[in-house]
Amino acid sequence: MSNDEVPRVHGIGGVFFRAENPEATREWYARHLGITVDAYGTNFAWRRVRAPEKKGYTLWSPFKKDTDYFGSEDQQFMINYRVNNLEALVAELKGAGVMIVDEIQQEIYGKFVHIVDNDGRRVELWEPVDEEYEKMLEAVTD
């Protein structure tokens, strides 16, 4: 089994956090820190160490304070982890008793599922299709 088939995390796909006013937060970061933003935030481009020909992105995105996307209202942020072989990873996690929040969702730019970690935090797992995701990008900060 190649490294791309081993069911595991291989990077951070996104950092999502609650903001009182997401638009103002995006604008503040653009103005003061030079981040290029769109309606979702920004994407930071990078290349994989063991496969530098493969480009990836990490999304930085403020969400509305009252979002239910993170699960609990007490959870102020959520990390999206880039994974290989999501179906196999979910099977392993189920076998280990990890709470799987929803069914795997397929989008053109990848597969997603949410799990809950040992401290009760919702975590998003993403098996990306980077070539398709890259076509959608409006804001990249490099």
Q: Domains of the chain (ranges plus CATH)?
A: 8-141 (3.10.180.10)
Statement: residue 22 has pLDDT above 80: yes
- Output the pLDDT for position 79: 98
Strand ranges for the chain from DSSP E: 8-19, 42-47, 55-64, 77-84, 99-100, 105-107, 110-116, 122-128, 140-141
Q: Over 80: is that where the pLDDT of 86 sits? A: yes
Regarding predicted confidence, which is higher, 71 or 42?
42
The answer to whether residue 1 scores a pLDDT higher than 80 is no
Burial of residue 34 (CB within 10 Å: 0-12, 13-18, 19+) is exposed
Give residue 19's pLDDT band: very low, low, confident or very high (50, 70, 90): very high
Tens digits of residue pLDDT in 34-68: 999 999 999 999 998 888 998 899 999 999 999 99
- As a whole number of angstroms, the distance between CA 38 and CA 87 comes to 31
pTM here is 0.92
Looking at residues 65-93, what average pLDDT do you find? 95
The residue-averaged pLDDT of 69-93 equals 95
Please give the structure tokens belonging to residue 116: 């809950």
Evaluate if residue 72 carries a pLDDT over 80.
yes
pLDDT for the residue numbered 4: 64
Return mean pLDDT, the chain: 94
